[in-house]
Chain A
């Protein structure tokens, strides 16, 4: 979730009111945000916004606009003046299947200083990384248009055919070289994977502005302190998102005091950018009442909507052009509710009587846990993620099918456990200095796979470690547990790599093999670096539960 940094004085200036940091903190809630910090010495304020679909708030200008609405300094959609510009961008067919959409505008009439530059770059980065899906959906470029010879051409070219000097570099490089060598090229090369041609913005004098969405040119492709003339472009794969970028920036720069000029985009069709026509949505007043349980009159609805920068006329709601998060009337109704104040909404008791119930399986598991605690075992709770080395290597058995993580971060947590006993062995290995006997158990989910089939079971394992730990001890525990459940177990000799040959059994209840039990082999103990004998059993509780339920 994006966090923006700005100066409180600047916010006050943009709003036109003196606001304390406490007041700002309260106002952030209207934008689903939180004040993270305010440093009185540097005047630096940090605000985090939750809504990932509301990028206009990721700039201090957008936040100030929200506040002006709430404080009713500005009602409804703020007016913005866009003058007709004489700039042209020509879109070539070659970009259609790669990155078809572009939006542009020009802004002038104000000098860029260090602070404004930082704000512009902050918004650009947050927008492209998050909303723009790491530049794939939308990327944004800002230039000083004085160095550009219009019209600008947007087209796709052969990777080796075009060369220019990218930002922060001295030498001219081909597009191909940039993807291979430039740090930004390497970072964003994935976006152009599989395309034979790459998109560029190139001016009338054949000077490259940008290799989109990778890197701008070192000559034209940057804004500098003191610049007064800005050329903005956004390209991408989603038309609405590309247009939204232009709207948000045009409003932000207009709020800053820049004059905005349109750009004519000539492609399959001609259009004027930025497109700032508000979208109209119809909301039935009954819907508001249904969602919030309050009866708000139409004139109050209008007032609330205007506070949240919507226009309301002829029972039609107009959405400001810097917002594209309205999918359903409920998105607007939420704003009405926020403006009304959640604290003002009356609480209603849930009146319907319902009978609660825990899962039957969980109730069964709780009984089993109670039995095992009763015979003196300490319960353990471990992470479900573990490693194949713990599950099989150290347990001296083969992997019979495991859920592994595709792109794991740490080997230690690279597989879902397929059984629980290894967790208990790990506990022993971490507690060699602790007083014996050590008797422990764990119940939890374990997963296995057979080809395409994923199986999840609740399993329980118990393990006892002390000088006299042996088969008899865990066998007694198993017998006792089964007796408590009204079941009888038969036992047959079994082979299992984790147990000593001849001291390992399978427990059979109602003709079904339900558990392994026995003495852990010294080979396994050595692999866990243990010096004390261990006896253990492990049982599939889901199967046992189903067996009992059937009778």
Chain B
């Protein structure tokens, strides 16, 4: 920056400091001569350094402070002087101390000092009598050097004291709480070449600081200059309101599905075995349905009323295939167990409800984002809660070829990748079933979605007829973690405010 611009960037404090820098280099001195507060002066020095005007070195220095008694004596005088003054005519020691208003300790110390200065004599008879010597009288007239010293400005830098002052410091330090000495960091600031040049300039031009409404109204700024800001320096950071990072990701997923022509569906979190599994044609005896595979509800154990007609159909599907070409699972469907309340274990329960709903439109495309629960060991990498994204497409005449193109679309939309593999898989409610693997540009091959065509034994009892339904579920947590730069899956639900405040907005 040229010298002119530099001079226009100086604020009042910087100017004050700069002006004394020909003579003073220590921050303590600068503070004293400029009358600035400590922080103001130090900050001004730092700004000046940022601008290349001064160079700061840190040094240590001893600072002398008035202590508790020191402050008192500086105001009311030293006790030895008060004592000496109180003697007047020779008198009993007890009376004199009483007159001087000193406590025992102060009196004893004062007597010792006055004696060592030969200012008094003490006669020891029946009573102790004090006399002021000639020297004492002269001393009273002249005043106590220590007292004058205490009246000066403190704190003082120890290195600035003269020989006399040093010896007074030494003797006063030996006394109780008069002076204290502390080691402080001191800043030594030296003008750089730029600084020296700058000092030769006129830096007193009055620059405008704050722009005020009055100034704008009166146009008083016209013809004057605003002080230049140093726009490069750091400013204190702020944090503001914002959406949770993972939730924001899920918001975008929702928007994406809506944009692709899907309708969002909803269903309860506390589900029944019926919608969670039975309606999906998962047999009640299946090993995936043990008590330890899901969070069953303590009370109420059973849901009051399921739709009778649909339950009848599903029961028939399990028992004999419900008029599809299926044998069914051939067992006695437990009509009580199907009402058992459970926290939904997957979002497919919502698909089942949607298929059975009067609102269902054929053709139709549906999706859901649902909080689900898995009975799993809760440790560093597992939480009982997780979010699932899934849905279905229902339309006469659609088939596995449509499923493949839909999976390709998902791959493209969620990873940007066109390189996919679709391999055989198994889900209890789809036949055929397929898994989508995508070559993510950075993560390599990842499993992105499970899908398939709903079994006829599932569709017919819910919809009332056999219609092809392409079902899919997308596993987005891994993608979310990647996009958000999160290593630990628990951070998706982080309670750490620093993590939340600093999370990337993606």
Mask of B317-333 contacts with A, CB within 8 angstroms, 1/0: 00001001111110000
Residues from 359 to 402 in A contacting B, C-beta threshold 8 Å: 359, 361-362, 366, 369, 372-385
| Given A327-B321, A385-B373, A347 contacting B401 (CB threshold 8 A) | yes
Asked whether A357 is an interface residue with its Cβ less than 8 Å from the other chain, the reply is yes
Q: Which A residues touch B383, using CB under 8 A?
A: 383
CA distance A70 to B495 in the complex (A): 52
- Smallest CB–CB gap between A392 and chain B, Å? 16
Contact assessment for B497 and A354 in the assembled complex, using a CB-CB cutoff below 8 Å: no
Residues from 227 to 265 in B contacting A, C-beta threshold 8 Å: 239-244, 246-247, 251, 254-255, 257-265
Q: Which residue of chain B has its CB nearest to the CB of A443?
A: B247
Q: Which A residues touch B299, using CB under 8 A?
A: 404, 449
Asked whether A271 is an interface residue with its Cβ less than 8 Å from the other chain, the reply is no
- Smallest CB–CB gap between A404 and chain B, Å? 4
Contact partner of B254 among A349, A362, A451, CB < 8 A? A362
Extra contacts besides A293-B399, A334-B433 (11): CB < 8 Å: A50-B425, A133-B287, A291-B432, A334-B431, A345-B400, A348-B404, A350-B395, A354-B365, A357-B258, A409-B384, A431-B495
Residue pairs across A and B with Cβ atoms less than 8 A apart, 11 shown, are: A292-B400, A330-B453, A347-B404, A349-B402, A376-B240, A376-B241, A381-B493, A404-B298, A408-B295, A431-B496, A445-B371
Contact assessment for A452 and B258 in the assembled complex, using a CB-CB cutoff below 8 Å: no
Contact assessment for B395 and A385 in the assembled complex, using a CB-CB cutoff below 8 Å: no
- Smallest CB–CB gap between A232 and chain B, Å? 23
Contact partner of B398 among A330, A350, A413, CB < 8 A? A350
- Which residue numbers of B lie inside 8 Å of A, CB to CB? 239-244, 246-247, 251, 254-255, 257-266, 268-270, 285-288, 291-292, 295-301, 303-304, 321, 324-329, 341, 343, 363-365, 371, 373, 375, 377-378, 383-385, 393, 395, 398-402, 404-406, 408, 421-426, 428, 431-434, 453, 455-457, 468, 492-493, 495-498, 500-501
CA distance A346 to B287 in the complex (A): 36
Contact partner of A434 among B326, B433, B498, CB < 8 A? B498
Q: Which residue of chain A has its CB nearest to the CB of B397?
A: A290
Contact assessment for A345 and B300 in the assembled complex, using a CB-CB cutoff below 8 Å: no
Contact assessment for B325 and A329 in the assembled complex, using a CB-CB cutoff below 8 Å: yes
Q: Which residue of chain A has its CB nearest to the CB of B407?
A: A347
Contact assessment for A348 and B402 in the assembled complex, using a CB-CB cutoff below 8 Å: yes
- Which residue numbers of A lie inside 8 Å of B, CB to CB? 29-30, 32, 50-52, 54, 130-131, 133-134, 137, 290-294, 327-331, 333-334, 337-338, 342-343, 345-350, 352-359, 361-362, 366, 369, 372-385, 403-410, 412-413, 416, 426-427, 430-431, 434-435, 438-440, 444-445, 447, 449, 451-454, 456
Q: Which B residues touch A290, using CB under 8 A?
A: 399, 468
Contact assessment for A403 and B385 in the assembled complex, using a CB-CB cutoff below 8 Å: no
Contact assessment for A405 and B364 in the assembled complex, using a CB-CB cutoff below 8 Å: no
Contact partner of B270 among A333, A343, A403, A409, CB < 8 A? A403
- Smallest CB–CB gap between A454 and chain B, Å? 5
Q: Which A residues touch B240, using CB under 8 A?
A: 376
- Smallest CB–CB gap between A323 and chain B, Å? 13
Contact partner of B431 among A328, A357, A412, CB < 8 A? A328
| Given A416-B269, A447-B270, A32 contacting B433 (CB threshold 8 A) | yes
Q: Which B residues touch A330, using CB under 8 A?
A: 431-432, 453, 455-456
- Smallest CB–CB gap between B349 and chain A, Å? 13
Contact assessment for B468 and A29 in the assembled complex, using a CB-CB cutoff below 8 Å: no
Q: Which B residues touch A32, using CB under 8 A?
A: 424-426, 433
Contact partner of A378 among B301, B343, B426, B501, CB < 8 A? B501
Max chain B C-beta neighbours (<10 A), residue from A366, A381, A385: A381
Contact assessment for B385 and A383 in the assembled complex, using a CB-CB cutoff below 8 Å: yes
Contact partner of B241 among A435, A439, A452, CB < 8 A? A439
Q: Which 9 A-B pairs have the closest CB atoms?
A: A348-B401, A50-B426, A328-B326, A293-B399, A293-B401, A334-B432, A356-B258, A379-B244, A51-B426
Q: Which A residues touch B269, using CB under 8 A?
A: 384, 416, 445, 447, 456
Q: Which residue of chain B has its CB nearest to the CB of A279?
A: B327
CA distance A444 to B363 in the complex (A): 31
Contact assessment for A345 and B497 in the assembled complex, using a CB-CB cutoff below 8 Å: no
Contact assessment for B423 and A29 in the assembled complex, using a CB-CB cutoff below 8 Å: yes
Contact assessment for A405 and B296 in the assembled complex, using a CB-CB cutoff below 8 Å: yes
- Smallest CB–CB gap between B243 and chain A, Å? 5
- Smallest CB–CB gap between B268 and chain A, Å? 5
Q: Which B residues touch A454, using CB under 8 A?
A: 268, 270, 300, 303, 341
- Smallest CB–CB gap between A455 and chain B, Å? 9
Q: Which residue of chain B has its CB nearest to the CB of A440?
A: B497
